[in-house]
């Protein structure tokens, strides 16, 4: 499968994944866990990974809504 086609098909999910990853990193940087005992917030890569995962899920949800609206408009 061509990488260009994959990016075109998953464009919204990838954009939200990147936004979530940056948001997760910024959360660790400015809020984080100073004691180091927090499971997710204590190291940068966990918050970045969780942010990316949440971003992808939100992007996938939004993409589903957009696709349903397109089908509804085409069906009318």
Q: What percent of the chain has pLDDT over 70?
A: 96
Please list, in sequence order, all residues whose beta carbon lies within 8 angstroms of the beta carbon of residue 75, skipping any fewer than 6 positions away: none
Written as six digits, the tokens of 23 are 């948001």
Q: Tell me: the pLDDT tens digits for 27-40?
A: 888 887 777 677 77
Structure-derived torsion over alpha carbons of residues 39, 29, 47, 10, reported in degrees to the nearest 10? 180
Task: Decide: pTM greater than 0.75.
Answer: yes
- Residue 19: Cβ within 10 Å count: 17
Closest listed residue to residue 19, CA positions, set 65, 60, 61, 55: 55
């Amino acid at each position: 499968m061509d990488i260009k086609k994959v990016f075109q098909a998953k464009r919204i999910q990838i954009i939200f994944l990147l936004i979530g990853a940056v948001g997760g990193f910024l959360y660790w940087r400015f809020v984080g866990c100073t004691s180091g005992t927090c499971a997710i917030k204590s190291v940068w890569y966990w918050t970045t990974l969780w942010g990316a995962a949440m971003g992808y899920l939100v992007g996938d949800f939004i993409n589903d809504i957009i696709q349903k609206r397109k089908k509804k408009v085409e069906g009318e």
